């Protein structure tokens, strides 16, 4: 399993009239964290695209537990729990406030798609190589 933590401070644009982080902003937080998680492996999302692979979102799930507020420093924990094998990859997210309270949890599943023709493709070998050191042999099969 691979785990990475990203810090995000909420701003006025993130909150609604009640002062809570608007529920629709959590997918944006997930995307920021997912991008930084990939970067932490040693390759940027842009580099993946430059190599001819795009990763559109095909499914998202969110469970709200507590509200986040303006000017809070959030910790978004991103997990890759399984080595991707086929044409998709799932990232799991947990969002915590500064007190360590779990605010939100969810997942985002992305498909691998060739940039050239927009057809599905298998997980690229270069991405599997970056993930491999974080998984045991049995997790990779």
Which residues are catalytic, by number?
16
Can you tell me the distance from the alpha carbon of 61 to that of 63, in angstroms, rounded to the nearest whole number? 7
Residue 72 φ then ψ, to 5° = -90, 145
For 48-59, letters b (16+ CB in 10 Å) and e give beeeebbbeeee
The rounded distance, in Å, linking the Cα atoms of 43 and 74 is 24
Q: Name the residue among 34, 21, 130 with its Cα closest to residue 71.
A: 21
Distance CA 48, CA 50 (A): 5
Report residue 66 CA to chain centroid gap: 20
């Amino acid at each position: 399993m691979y785990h990475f933590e990203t810090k995000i401070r909420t701003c006025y644009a993130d909150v609604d009239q009640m002062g809570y982080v608007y529920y629709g902003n959590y997918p944006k937080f997930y995307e920021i964290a997912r991008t930084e998680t990939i970067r932490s492996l040693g390759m940027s999302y842009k580099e993946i695209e430059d190599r001819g692979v795009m990763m559109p979102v095909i499914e998202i799930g969110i469970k709200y537990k507590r509200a986040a507020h303006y000017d809070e420093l959030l910790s978004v924990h991103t997990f890759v729990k399984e080595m991707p094998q086929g044409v998709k990859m799932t990232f799991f997210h947990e969002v915590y406030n500064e007190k360590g309270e779990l605010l939100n949890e969810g997942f985002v599943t992305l498909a691998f798609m060739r940039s050239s023709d927009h057809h599905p493709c298998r997980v690229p070998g270069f991405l599997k190589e970056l993930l491999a050191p974080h998984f045991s042999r049995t997790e990779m099969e």
